[in-house]
């Protein structure tokens, strides 16, 4: 009696051929790998990030990194999917760190304008002048993104939709702009003459 072929064998062989072609730099294999494994990579990222936009960014970053490092893939150490998921985990961790840093920066920016009840009117005017001056020094697109985030209270995705700027670029502008703004703020606030006599020193 003839043995019945296991369809799983064909799938395994197809994946082995795909992995070999991928590691050899076949661009068609890259597209095939994305179609076959992209959903699994995105699912892994989404489970930790809870944001489809961030998960999509991680998925793209994963395949770019995998393609760049394709020569290092060793089929003897595991499947192509397993290798991709390993890269995706590292990229997800990287994104979580960036998101945590963005939250810290946003909290720092929130401290740029002191509460109404804690500072005398003259000092509040000084604070507002410092912020306006420092914003004016930023590049146009970066300044526009920060104004939408802090004055109009738009989310990253909303800013991207309103401006047509890619989401990743919006996040980059916010991150760099906030870092620059915070650094300049600390320098300006420490400069002599910015504090009124009734409120010496820094908080």
Q: Are residues 17 and 99 in the same domain?
A: yes
* Residue 1 belongs to some domain of the structure: no
The residue range of the domain holding 96 is: 10-104
Per-residue confidence band for 38, with pLDDT thresholds at 50, 70 and 90: very high
pLDDT in tens, 158-197: 888 878 888 888 888 888 878 777 776 666 655 554 443 3
Residue-wise pLDDT for 14-34, tens only, equals: 888 999 999 999 999 999 999
Q: Domain boundary at 104, 122, 152, which?
A: 104
- CATH number, domain with residue 167: 1.10.10.10
d(CA 127, CA 30): 53
How confident is the model at residue 167, as a pLDDT?
Answer: 84
Q: Which residues contact 187 (CB under 8 A, 6 or more apart)?
A: none
Both 17 and 97 in one domain: the answer is yes
Q: Give helix then strand counts, H and E, for the chain.
A: 8, 0
Burial of 123 (C-beta count, 10 Å sphere; 0-12/13-18/19+): middle
Q: Where are the alpha helices (DSSP H) in 24-155?
A: 27-49, 52-68, 80-110, 121-137, 140-150
145 and 59 fall within a common domain: no
Query: Which two three-digit tokens encode residue 149?
Result: 């985030």
């Amino acid at each position: 009696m003839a043995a019945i072929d296991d369809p799983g064998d064909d799938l395994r062989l197809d994946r082995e051929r795909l992995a070999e072609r991928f590691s050899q730099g076949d661009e068609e294999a890259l597209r095939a790998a994305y179609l076959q494994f992209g959903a699994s990579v995105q699912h892994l990222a989404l489970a930790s990030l809870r944001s489809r936009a961030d998960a999509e960014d991680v998925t793209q970053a994963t395949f770019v990194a995998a393609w760049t490092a394709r020569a290092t893939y060793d089929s003897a150490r595991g499947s192509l999917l397993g290798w991709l998921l390993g890269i995706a985990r590292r990229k997800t961790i990287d994104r979580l760190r960036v998101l945590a840093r963005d939250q810290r920066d946003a909290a720092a920016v929130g401290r740029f304008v002191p509460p109404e009840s804690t500072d005398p009117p003259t000092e509040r005017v000084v604070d507002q002048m410092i912020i306006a001056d420092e914003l004016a020094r930023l590049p146009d697109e970066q300044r526009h993104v920060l104004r939408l985030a802090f004055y109009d209270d738009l989310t990253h995705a909303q800013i991207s939709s309103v401006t047509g700027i890619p989401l990743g670029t919006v996040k980059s502008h916010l991150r760099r702009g906030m870092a620059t703004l915070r650094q300049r703020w600390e320098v300006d606030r420490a400069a002599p003459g910015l504090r009124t006599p009734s409120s010496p020193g820094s908080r």
